Amino acid sequence: SQKIEQNSEALNIQEGKTATLTCNYTNYSPAYLQWYRQDPGRGPVFLLLIRENEKEKRKERLKVTFDTTLKQSLFHITASQPADSATYLCAPGDSGNTPLVFGKGTRLSVIA
Amino acid sequence: GAVVSQHPSRVICKSGTSVKIECRSLDFQATTMFWYRQFPKQSLMLMATSNEGSKATYEQGVEKDKFLINHASLTLSTLTVTSAHPEDSSFYICSAGKGATNEKLFFGSGTQLSVL
């Protein structure tokens, strides 16, 4: 069965540093991978989508990589700020209508 | 961007009562909506896929008679938790996509259900 693993449950970093979150998947060949941000008591918010033929995607301070050989995606936040503190979820997806399955998420805390 | 509105945001009810949660796509039509449940510090667990004009598709282990889903229009899906019990207490979230795929889902703000 499909399995999605996000490297750690919690990650603490100092303000200004780069946060790197990992998403590994097995028994799956996704056409794309999505990253979402979730704040406590709120629904997730879409951040980035990267397709299988893309190596890297950027949006402001965010960068996502996708390695289909390693079956891994890395999510980077550069120049992190306390406002970046949240849980980040990854979700591999296919080109059809198969519902998204989410990883457990990594809870990021950026300390001032 | 697209907006998905979910109501109510919080509900407390007595055991045995039924609770209805509404999910609306405000500025786009959603043929398909998804209902998730999330326990504290856990991942989103897909409960069912709601299809406009047809029966919902439930995930394995989710009781369709307990979690009634109705998707009567392209902008509204409802989830009714029937005869709620304390173990049904959870955070329920709906989502919808603008296109035919699941790319860039838009989520509601969630409903925290507490059953006493």
| Contact with chain A for residue B54, Cβ under 8 A | no
Do the Cβ atoms of B32 and B94 come closer than 8 Å? Answer: no
Which pLDDT score is estimated for A101?
86
Are the beta carbons of A41 and B101 separated by less than 8 Å?
Answer: no
Q: How far apart are CA A104 and CA A7, in angstroms?
A: 10
Q: Is the pLDDT of residue B34 over 70?
A: yes
CA distance B102 to B96: 8
Mean pLDDT, rounded, of chain A = 92
Dump pLDDT digits (tens) for B35-83.
999 998 888 999 999 888 888 999 999 999 999 999 888 899 999 999 9
DSSP state of B88: G
Q: Which of A36, A41, A93 sits opposite B103 (nearest CB)?
A: A93
Count of pairs with CB atoms under 8 A, one residue in A, one in B: 58
Q: Which of A43, A93, A95 sits opposite B108 (nearest CB)?
A: A43
The owner of tokens 């282990």 is B61
Q: Does B98 touch chain A (CB under 8 A)?
A: no
Judged against a pLDDT cut of 90, whether residue A99 lies above it is answered with: no
Cα separation, A91 vs A104, in Å, equals 10
Task: Give the per-residue pLDDT at A61.
Answer: 97
